Chain A
């Protein structure tokens, strides 16, 4: 079964600095997808960035980049130039093929990391 581990319950960063949120995963599937979501205190889950297992380049979306190290099974999120509005819970999630098929279904989430940005 697939598993996502986020070992940092909480992280603090100074405004305008960069921060890395750790994520390791475990799956026996060769094809899979890795996602990061942001959940502010208001509760909505916001999709940030995606990395496919066969993608050779690390994904980037604006200030977000994903440091993908396949051999180490890690998919760390890097947020550059942190802003006060980045304070939130961040979840790493994985998607693997549904049983018996080539389609993809549910997401499996880690426990999350609370990021606090200080002015």
Chain B
């Protein structure tokens, strides 16, 4: 059983550049979540999808952030005009449904460093 896969593992870029991350969920998981985690803190919710529909976006997700899940399988998270404050670990998770006890399974994350 393949887990959640994220690519790339690390991304270093200059301030002002655009970056895109990819997440492949566990197959047949219809829910996909994005979180952001800064050093020493717990993950903070960004957005989530059920199939291809984006159901909720956090206020943390400024206009520079956009996420898609076009075919209800993999998802991409794009950050435009990156800023120093965007440096963080970006975590993707998936789950098989929307029941309260359904655990979310996380990928290894993409660590973004802004120079």
Give chain A's interface residues, CB within 8 Å of chain B.
4, 31-33, 35, 37, 42-47, 50, 52, 91, 93, 95, 97-99, 103-112
Contacts and interface: CB of A to CB of B under 8 A. Distances in A.
A52 B103 CA distance: 12
Contacts of A93: 42
Contacts of B100: 31-33, 52, 95, 97, 104
B56 A45 contact: no
Contacts, number: 69
B62 interface: no
Interface in B25-60: 31, 33, 35, 40-45, 48, 55-56
Contacts of A95: 100
Size class of the B contact interface (CB-based, 8 Å): 20 to 34
Contacts of A109: 42-44
Give 3 closest A-B pairs by Cβ, nearest first.
A109-B42, A103-B98, A45-B106
Nearest to A107: B104
B104 to A, nearest CB: 6
Interface string B95-106: 000111111111
11 contacts: A33-B101, A37-B106, A42-B108, A46-B106, A97-B100, A104-B98, A104-B99, A105-B48, A107-B35, A107-B45, A111-B40
B105 A47 contact: yes
A44 B48 contact: no
B104 A47 contact: yes
Nearest to A95: B100
A6 B75 CA distance: 31
A118 B69 CA distance: 44
